[in-house]
Amino acid sequence: MMNFLHKYASLRNFYFLSLRLSRWLVLPFVFTLVYGLIGALWIAPQDYQQGESFRIMYVHVPSAWLSMFVYMNMVGAAVLTLIWRVKLSEIVLRACAPLGAIFTFLALVTGSIWGKPMWGTWWVWDARLTSELLLLFIYFGIIALFHAIEDRRMAAKACALLTLVGAVNIPIIHYSVEWWSTLHQGPTVSKIGAPSIHIDMLIPLIVMSVSFTLYFIIMCLARIRIGIREYDKNSNWVKNLVTSTLQKEHSQ
């Protein structure tokens, strides 16, 4: 296991591994997305309280889940950056931040759209909503910090520290509906015991969550490859890669 990790901590080795992984993940992503959309829009029955408006949860819930999942990946990358100074972890940290911000923004927007017919308002300073909004600002802060510091390694260290400080917000988001009285509904899928959601609604929700996760992985790997090419642009293997790519494009 350690040999595997050591091997693929190399920027060159991980670059070509990520290409293979991306190709393998495209088909599962397309399948889960199509199946999830069919289940969400046609198979899932209408909710007896919310009517058809509940279907936005098939975008909202996966987005909210990814907003925290991406951040926890960044926490892991931050630890590797600060303790072992792994170059790849610095690139991963930078690659994840914009994706996490997009998922967080999408969760907030879809939550507001869902909340309007349910609560009668687009926004309330609810514990869950407020902590999720704070997460978006943390993402923005990390992105801005990366661009504010010219030295790449210094920027990575500063962003890693900010990421670890911001990690305290993740359990607040997750447990906010249990710790405080909020308008946001409590857990329905992950609660202890049977989920309080019909199986025909639950399966498409799980499938959509898998699809969103696969999309994140594919996009993250693509952004990591861009980061690797920028980081290692003076190395021979990157120069050869760019040359071969240009030759293929010219021949076509």
* pLDDT at residue 192 in the model: 42
* pLDDT at residue 9 in the model: 87
Q: Cβ-count burial of 23 within 10 angstroms (0-12 exposed, 13-18 middle, 19+ buried)?
A: exposed
pTM (two decimals): 0.93
* pLDDT at residue 185 in the model: 64
* pLDDT at residue 167 in the model: 98
* pLDDT at residue 183 in the model: 60
For the chain, what's the residue count? 252
Residue 152 in contact with residue 231, Cβ under 8 Å? yes
* pLDDT at residue 136 in the model: 98
* pLDDT at residue 252 in the model: 65
* pLDDT at residue 206 in the model: 96
Residue numbers in the chain where pLDDT is lower than 50: 192
Q: Which two tokens stand for residue 51?
A: 């009517």
* pLDDT at residue 190 in the model: 54
* pLDDT at residue 117 in the model: 86
Helices (H), the chain: 2-8, 11-38, 57-83, 87-119, 127-148, 152-166, 169-179, 199-231, 236-251
C-alpha–C-alpha distance, residues 110 and 114, integer Å: 6
Among residues 87, 101, 129, the alpha carbon closest in space to that of 216 is found at: 101
